[in-house]
Each structure stands twice: as C-alpha cells, then as structure tokens.
C-alpha cells in the first residue's frame, strides 16, 4: 500500500480509501465487516462514510453505514488502527435530517456531530467534512455556475470554522475537509482560516475519474499549493470504468441494475469515451479497473482514491491497483482520448 500525508498534518493515510456507502443497502453488516477486515489487513487505514449513508438516501437507512462501522469498532477494538472520515449534510429537503434546510449553523452542526459520534461508537472523528455546500453551486451533471442573487442566507464560512474549531478543542474531531466544493469555496475557507487563525481545510472530496477531470481546471493548483488534497470519489464512474456495463450489459445486483435513476454516466459521449479507454486497457494488457484507479492515484493533487466495492473480489482488484504502473505511453494515450471526449460526464 502507498501512503500520503493528509494535508499538512503528520497523519499518514493510504492512497486507497475504503468507501462505505453501499453498506446498509447493497451490502449487509456482515459483508461490511468482511470488507473492513480485508481492507485493514491489506494496508487500507483510511475509511470514508457520511451521516446520510447508505445510498440511495432513504429515511429507513439514514445513518446505517455509520452504525455498521461503529459496530465493527465495538466488536474488534481496532478504532485506533483506522483514520475515519465522515460528513455532515449541507442543505437538504429531507425533513428527517434535523428538519431539513441548512445544517452548518451552530446548533445543527453540533447535533450532527454528536449523532455521528454515537453511531460510530467513538469519541473522536479524524476527518470531519462538509458534505455539499449550503449555497447553490456545483450540482451533479453541470459544467457551469449559475448565480442566484437571492441565494445569500447560508451560514457564513467564519461561523462554520468557529464551530469546527470548538469541536477540535473539545477533542471530538481532529481535522476538517470539504466535499463537492468549488475553487471559490475552498479558497475562501483557506483565506478565512489564515486571516482569523481558524482550522484549515485539509482535503476536498469531489468526483474525479477518466470521464470527469474537471477538478484539474481550478482546484488542482489550490490543492497542490495549499496542501489541501483531493479525496476522489466515483473513480470508477459508478462501475462504468470497470467495463462491466459495456454492450448494454447490466449484471445482477449491480448499481445500474438496481438504481436506474443513476444516469450520470449514461450519455452518448461518455459511452464512447468508456469504449476508447477500455480498448486502451486491452491494447496494453492492463486491467481496466486498475488502469482507471491508478490514473487517479498518481495525480499530484491527489491524497487518496475512494473505492467502493460490493464484493470482496472487487475490493481485492481495487486495492491491488496500487501495484500497477502506467507508462508515459499509456498516459499519453489517455490524454488523447480526453481531448477527443473532454469531461463528458461532469
């Protein structure tokens, strides 16, 4: 396994991060336990979850993934072996999440943290992330930003950072990060942190894969210069970058078979790009899944690649991607395909 520092801290995290959002929906607790055992045994010390998991979001399964992880901590007594990251929901219409609406105000974010600590059966969280901004920006499937003059009543960044500082001083969280954030959002948080001597955002958890390299446009430079690295989610594009959905195939129990509303990677150019990347992997006799993951891992702005698996076989393939090498020839071919089909699935 490979390791990198989380931000400018002394905390070493594996460059493969165990994603958990299927536990409680596609995976049982027993299967989640098996994945945690296997991942830790193979050097994966960094796990990511969120209060809203499992996915798809349902009231009946809200918080279930955190509960499963907490039960594993309780059973194995290995909490100290794991760097655990979780997230507080931003703006939501779901009333079962503290009545809906904004969640980064002092009262609600405090409630959210206490609820996550309880479900995780721990007294501290290593990385606490803001899961989607409260303001309207950066939605799935959109390249551009549409400004709304009336969208201005979200919680001020300074107030959010003050709450997070209080949690750090209380020993309830160690470090903080963002998720689904823009270059403007990250830069403002970093600016306020420096000006007001408040905690720094150590990471940004955004989508990044061969079909969506938009992170490179503005956020990559900030990540490198400010040491606020990317935690890439959806590195396999809902499984499309494994090749299992080629030729309109829909394997039983796969995400696209179960949840047909997940259309983010179904557009025409996306499918054409997938086929080109697949042919490239065949040309160089490299596993398509591992090529897709390794491309993410080696980016200079990357801290860790969040993998999600529903079987141990998938998990094994994903973890072993750290042992793959991509030659300059392969990388040049990847970039040629990117130029043919630039970021087809934002």
Catalytic residue among 3, 53, 96, 265: 53
In three-state secondary structure terms, 195 is helix
Structure tokens at 243: 């090749």
- For residue 1, give Cα distances in angstroms to 5, 6, 70, 127, 227: 14, 16, 25, 20, 21
Angle between helices 157-169 and 106-120 (to 10 degrees): 40
Among 339, 329, 235, which residue's Cα sits nearest to residue 284?
A: 329
Q: Is 53 a catalytic residue?
A: yes
Contact predicate 13/6, CB 8 Å: yes
Burial label, 70 (beta-carbon count in 10 A; 0-12, 13-18, 19+): buried
Q: Scanning the structure block, which residue is given the tokens 């992880």?
A: 69
Catalytic residue ranges: 53
């Amino acid at each position: 396994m490979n390791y990198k520092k989380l931000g400018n801290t002394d905390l070493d995290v594996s460059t493969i991060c165990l994603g958990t959002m299927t536990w409680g929906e596609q995976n049982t607790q027993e299967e989640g336990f098996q994945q945690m055992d296997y991942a830790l045994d193979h050097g994966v010390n960094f796990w990511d979850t969120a209060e809203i998991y499992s996915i798809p979001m349902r009231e009946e399964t809200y918080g279930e993934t955190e509960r499963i992880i907490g039960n594993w901590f309780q059973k194995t007594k290995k909490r100290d072996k794991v760097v655990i990251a979780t997230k507080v929901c931003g703006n939501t219409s779901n009333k079962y999440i503290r009545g809906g609406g904004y969640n980064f105000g002092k009262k609600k974010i405090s409630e959210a943290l206490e609820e996550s600590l309880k479900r995780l059966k721990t007294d501290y969280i290593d990385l606490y992330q803001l899961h989607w901004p409260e303001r309207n920006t950066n939605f799935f499937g959109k390249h551009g930003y549409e400004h709304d003059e009336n969208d201005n009543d979200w919680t001020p960044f300074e107030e959010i950072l003050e709450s997070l500082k209080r949690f750090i001083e209380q020993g309830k969280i160690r470090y903080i990060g963002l998720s689904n954030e823009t270059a403007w959002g990250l830069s403002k948080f970093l600016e306020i942190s420096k000006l007001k001597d408040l905690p720094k955002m150590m990471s940004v958890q955004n989508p990044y894969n061969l079909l969506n390299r938009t992170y490179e446009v503005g956020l990559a430079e900030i990540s490198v210069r400010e040491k606020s690295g990317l935690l890439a989610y959806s590195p396999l594009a809902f499984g499309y970058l494994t090749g299992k959905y080629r030729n309109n195939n829909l394997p039983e129990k796969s995400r696209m078979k179960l949840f047909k509303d997940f259309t983010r990677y179904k557009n025409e150019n996306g499918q054409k790009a997938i086929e080109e990347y697949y042919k490239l992997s065949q040309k160089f006799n490299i596993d398509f899944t591992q090529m897709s993951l390794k491309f993410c891992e080696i980016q200079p702005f990357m801290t860790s690649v969040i993998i999600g698996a529903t079987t141990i076989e998938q998990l094994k393939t994903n973890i072993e991607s750290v042992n793959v090498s991509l030659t300059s020839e392969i990388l040049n071919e990847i970039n040629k395909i990117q130029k043919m089909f630039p970021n087809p699935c934002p």
